[in-house]
Amino acid sequence: MNNIIDSKLIYGSNWNGYRILDQYSPFIENYLYRNLLTIEHATNQYPRVFAIRVDLHLPPGYDETDTAVISRFFDSMNSQIYEDYVRQARRGVYLNSCRLRYVWAKERGPENGNIHYHVCLILNHKRYAALGRYVHSDLIDWNEAQRNMAHRISKAWYSATQGMAYPGLVHFADNAGYELNRNSPDFHMQKAELFKRLSYLAKVWTKEAIEGRRYGSSRG
């Protein structure tokens, strides 16, 4: 949906029984729907999932017409998840399967600011259950084995931007991780909290000046 004007917009603090961040109203309904669908696909496959919110900023001077950068990011994440599986299997360690699901929104900061991506990654909790400590350092060796999920994400952005990204361009909020447990009595509250957080990605504001795709999600 590249034409926001022709999209159905949602105002207020609720959508289909879920709370949304009404201070950022209006929202694009199709994006809200795809956020919810992505969460439900993940929790239907895995009893417990771990979701991570991260913001990815393009390096200064980076070619803003490179619309494939976000696809390369997810390709790198998938590759690292697979490599992790193979590496552990060679050591005789069994790992649970993990299908990466995600949603993303491309935005420009106010007053012609830089392009950035708001991203949520959803993983099998039995495989990945923590973000890990993230080190902001220009001395990170991207060729070393992945230390934790935060390292994998930063490495994927470095790869996607063809080596131009540096650690400070990957931002994790203090409450970046969410656990959803389908068998927990708090599951619906957990799901509602994540959906509310992701409604930010569906807001109209800061997307009007973006050419091409402004939003995407994994399929199935």
pLDDT for the residue 168: 86
Mean pLDDT of 130-153: 71
pLDDT class for 132, splitting at 50, 70, 90?
Answer: confident
Mean pLDDT of 82-98: 91
**69-73, 132-136, 155-159: segment of lowest average pLDDT:** 132-136
Residue type, 173: A
Q: Please tell me the distance from the alpha carbon of residue 171 to that of residue 33, in angstroms, as a whole number.
A: 26
Buried b (16+ CB within 10 A) or exposed e, 151-171: bbbbbbbbbbbeebbbbebbb
Please give the DSSP secondary-structure letter assigned to residue 200. Answer: G
Mean pLDDT of 59-86: 94
Residue 14 pLDDT more than 60?
Answer: yes
The residue among 1, 8, 4, 21 whose CA lies nearest residue 195 is 21
Neighbours of 213 (CB within 10 A): 14
Handedness of CA 154, 69, 28, 182 (dihedral sign): negative
Radius of gyration of the chain (CA): 17
pLDDT class for 126, splitting at 50, 70, 90?
Answer: very high
Which range has highest mean pLDDT (84-88, 164-168, 207-211)?
84-88
pLDDT for the residue 1: 41
HEC readout, 23-54: HHCCEEHHHHHHHHHHHHHHHHHCCEEEEEEE
Query: Domain map of the chain by residue range?
Result: 4-217
pLDDT tens, position by position, 113-125: 789 999 999 999 9
Residue 106 pLDDT more than 90?
Answer: yes
**Beta-bridge partners for 119:** 54, 104
